[in-house]
Chains A and B, each alone.
Chain A
Amino acid sequence: MTADKGELILKLRGVSKQFGAVTALKDIELDVHAGEVVALVGDNGAGKSTLIKVLAGVHQPTEGTIEWCGKPVSLDSPGTALELGIATVFQDLALCENLDVVSNLFLGHEINPWQLDEVQMEVRAWTLLRELAARIPSVREPIASLSGGQRQTVAIARSLLLDPKIIMLDEPTAALGVAQTAEVLNLIERVRDRGHGVILISHNMEDVRAVADRIVVLRLGQNNGVFTNETSHQELVAAITGASENSVSRRMARKQEEAV
């Protein structure tokens, strides 16, 4: 069902990443098509963020090939990835606290490099933030004065700025309110309908099922199956934790017993 969605934009084969003695990723395979939402799920420390950072050019893979639109590429710096059209919302957001919202949104891609066009940037900032139903009092305050959710919204808005081909969101809704979470999910669907690819990392299975076309499970740095949103909850949890008998199923069983 996904293969006919669109052409293959991103193809990873045998990607590994080693941090000294720690193997964070081993032999990872991942495909992303145009107009497709791929959810990346897994336990804490499974290597999801590391994979995203490899694709964002933040970390260099130890091994493996990355193909972009059929051509092998080397993502040797964040700039390269951004130029190709890979935008990222990092788990730690990566905002400059001393700069205001507008400066952060346009960081590295300012309008008119020799005489910054503050007015145009501010207008564009408000339009982007409005699309996300952002609750931000002023775009001229430094990021340091914003709440966690507001910062997350700014980071998401920034990833949309360059109209990327693929956008990667690392737990984008972790700190968001109800309305803002819904807006982000809407946004993910809008981005997909525009024919772009989305990689979504989330621990919230409800959100994942709501928007994902495919669910890729990572476990201990390795691929552990690809599922669709029709897969049952138990099956998914089993793939994430690596056993059908796990703390989640035990807890469920206990609750059922108590109910009886």
Chain B
Amino acid sequence: MTNISDQLDREDSRVRHDQGIGGAVRAFLDRVKSGDLGMLPVFIGLLLISVVFSSLNPVFLAPNNLVNLLFDAAAIGLISLGVVCVLLLGEIDLSIGSMSGLASALIGVLWVNAGLPWPFAVVLAVLAGAAVGLLYGFLRNKFEMPSFVATLAGLLALLGLQLYLLGSTGSINLPYTSTLVKFGQIMIMPAWLSYICALLPGAVIVYTGMNTNNRRRAANLSSPGMSVVFAKAIIITVALVFCVYYLELGRGVPWMFAVFTVFVIALEYALRRTKWGRSMFAVGGNAEAARRSGINVRGIRMSAFMICSAFASLGGVFAASRLASASQQAGTGDVNLNAIAAAVIGGTSLFGGRGSAWSALLGVIVIQAISNGLTLLNLSSSLRYMITGAVLAIAVIVDSLARRSRASHGRA
């Protein structure tokens, strides 16, 4: 190790520089204390949910129930992934439910009724979503229309279009033998592939960790050391392998969920490691400052609304394939609330400028676990709505309190 005070970023003696695993843990505790909770509430929430529901009904933790849970989570999860993008800018899209319903209606009409090949219908549905997002972005940029008003209008308009498309029959059944429906109901990853996928993140963490460490050392910057990297990789690998093993006791890992996870990883990369992602956080944090830095704020807004609606469409397609039908009920009820709640519960702030793609994945598992657990207890949907509403309220309260605490600790 080089002399510490020689390193570029180690000149200020006032800063405690955390080294090794102990340092990483200490830094994490500091962050939590200052209100930078990250994913912590989710893990605590999941633990609570598991304990409560499995004590009420042991089936809750049965492997096959969890497999079903993942099947159900993918559609809402995708919608929630889009919500993360608009929330990062401090905007909102209330029409995601209607958009997903419209997309499933489009699948029914284009594929079943008009006879287009299904991949074609899926692409068209997603493009329709992007076009709706373009319109929202335009209304926001051109007329400064608050997004919650524009999308509230969209909620009704899109629902109307969905009902119009489905016409008098009210619902269109999708053929059971098709790949699209199998994808939503029975397709499971082969066990060997699941295990490889479980090992991959650990390997990537070690590889990039090593790379970063070497480059930082070469550039005369302090490097956190490999012990933290290895610890992180080992914890994640063990956790993932255990999850796969447990799911393999049942049917295994649904392809649907795997595809959703790939989208999560792609968005996370785009948000953390690209200029576009940096601009998203900047616009969400201080739009005027972002503009003065030469960022195309309108373009960023436009892209966020388009991605949101496109993900909502894709989520609608997933939902249709899960239910094997395109119905008038698709996308109505608690879909909107659940998708937004998932993003917030996962740690994406409603106030803009904070969040991550992972929040969609973790949040949707929480939401789906609650809904699944309550269904197992044979509770009516009225109670389910009330409980999910309460969970959302709690998540927002945690978000607001954490924000206040961060402000007083100077962490924005």
Given contact pairs A116-B278, A136-B12, A137-B12, A97 touches B286 in the complex (Cβ within 8 A): yes
Q: How far is the CA of A108 from the CA of B14 in the complex (A)?
A: 31
* A144 adjacent to chain B (CB < 8 Å): yes
Per-residue 0/1 for B353-364: is the Cβ within 8 Å of any A Cβ (1 yes, 0 no)?
Answer: 110000000000
Stretch at the interface among B78-86, B236-244, B288-296, B305-313: B288-296
Stretch at the interface among B53-61, B213-221, B318-326, B380-388: B213-221
Shortest CB distance B372–A (Å): 35
Do B292 and A88 touch across chains, with their CB atoms under 8 A apart?
yes
Q: How far is the CA of A58 from the CA of B288 in the complex (A)?
A: 9
Stretch at the interface among A12-20, A32-40, A118-126, A218-226: A118-126
- List which B376-412 residues lie within 8 A (CB) of chain A: 406-407, 409-412
Q: Which secondary structure characterizes the binding site on chain A?
A: loop
Which residues of A sit under 8 angstroms from B292, Cβ to Cβ? 56, 58, 78, 88, 90, 94
Do B295 and A107 touch across chains, with their CB atoms under 8 A apart?
yes
Shortest CB distance B141–A (Å): 13
Cross-chain contact of B8 among A77, A96, A123, A143 (Cβ < 8 A): A123
Do B294 and A137 touch across chains, with their CB atoms under 8 A apart?
no
Which residues of A sit under 8 angstroms from B407, Cβ to Cβ? 144
Which residues of B sit under 8 angstroms from A115, Cβ to Cβ? 273-274
Which residues of A sit under 8 angstroms from B273, Cβ to Cβ? 115-116
Which residues of A sit under 8 angstroms from B154, Cβ to Cβ? none
Do B216 and A119 touch across chains, with their CB atoms under 8 A apart?
yes
Which residues of A sit under 8 angstroms from B216, Cβ to Cβ? 119
* B282 adjacent to chain A (CB < 8 Å): yes
Do B412 and A98 touch across chains, with their CB atoms under 8 A apart?
yes
Which residues of A sit under 8 angstroms from B334, Cβ to Cβ? none
Q: How far is the CA of A120 from the CA of B221 in the complex (A)?
A: 10
Given contact pairs A115-B273, A119-B212, A109 touches B294 in the complex (Cβ within 8 A): yes
Given contact pairs A78-B292, A136-B12, A143 touches B412 in the complex (Cβ within 8 A): yes
* A142 adjacent to chain B (CB < 8 Å): yes
Which residues of B sit under 8 angstroms from A127, Cβ to Cβ? 8
Q: How far is the CA of A139 from the CA of B105 in the complex (A)?
A: 50
Which residues of A sit under 8 angstroms from B14, Cβ to Cβ? 137
Do B274 and A114 touch across chains, with their CB atoms under 8 A apart?
yes
Do B278 and A95 touch across chains, with their CB atoms under 8 A apart?
no
Shortest CB distance A211–B (Å): 25
Q: How far is the CA of A127 from the CA of B290 in the complex (A)?
A: 23
Q: Which residue of B lies closest to A116 (CB)?
A: B273
Q: How far is the CA of A20 from the CA of B72 in the complex (A)?
A: 55
* A138 adjacent to chain B (CB < 8 Å): yes
Which residues of A sit under 8 angstroms from B406, Cβ to Cβ? 144
* A103 adjacent to chain B (CB < 8 Å): yes
Which residues of A sit under 8 angstroms from B12, Cβ to Cβ? 135-138
Q: How far is the CA of A139 from the CA of B293 in the complex (A)?
A: 19
Given contact pairs A116-B274, A144-B410, A138 touches B9 in the complex (Cβ within 8 A): yes
Which residues of B sit under 8 angstroms from A122, Cβ to Cβ? 8-9, 219, 221
Shortest CB distance B62–A (Å): 42
* A110 adjacent to chain B (CB < 8 Å): yes
Q: How far is the CA of A42 from the CA of B291 in the complex (A)?
A: 27
Which residues of A sit under 8 angstroms from B215, Cβ to Cβ? 119
Which residues of B sit under 8 angstroms from A143, Cβ to Cβ? 412
Q: Which residue of B lies closest to A83 (CB)?
A: B294
Do A108 and B295 touch across chains, with their CB atoms under 8 A apart?
yes
* A184 adjacent to chain B (CB < 8 Å): no
Do B279 and A108 touch across chains, with their CB atoms under 8 A apart?
yes
Q: Which residue of A lies closest to B217 (CB)?
A: A119
Which residues of B sit under 8 angstroms from A107, Cβ to Cβ? 278-279, 282, 289-290, 293, 295
Chain B: residues with CB nearer than 8 A to chain A? 8-9, 12, 14-15, 212, 215-216, 219-221, 273-276, 278-279, 281-282, 284-286, 288-296, 353-354, 406-407, 409-412
Instruction: List 21 interface pairs A-B (beta carbons < 8 Å), by A numbering.
Output: A78-B293, A79-B296, A96-B282, A96-B286, A98-B354, A99-B278, A99-B281, A99-B285, A108-B295, A113-B275, A114-B275, A116-B274, A120-B219, A122-B9, A122-B219, A123-B220, A135-B12, A137-B15, A138-B12, A138-B15, A146-B410
| Besides A116-B273, A119-B221, 13 other A-B contacts (C-beta < 8 A) | A58-B292, A97-B285, A98-B354, A107-B279, A107-B289, A107-B290, A108-B279, A109-B293, A123-B8, A137-B14, A142-B411, A144-B407, A144-B412
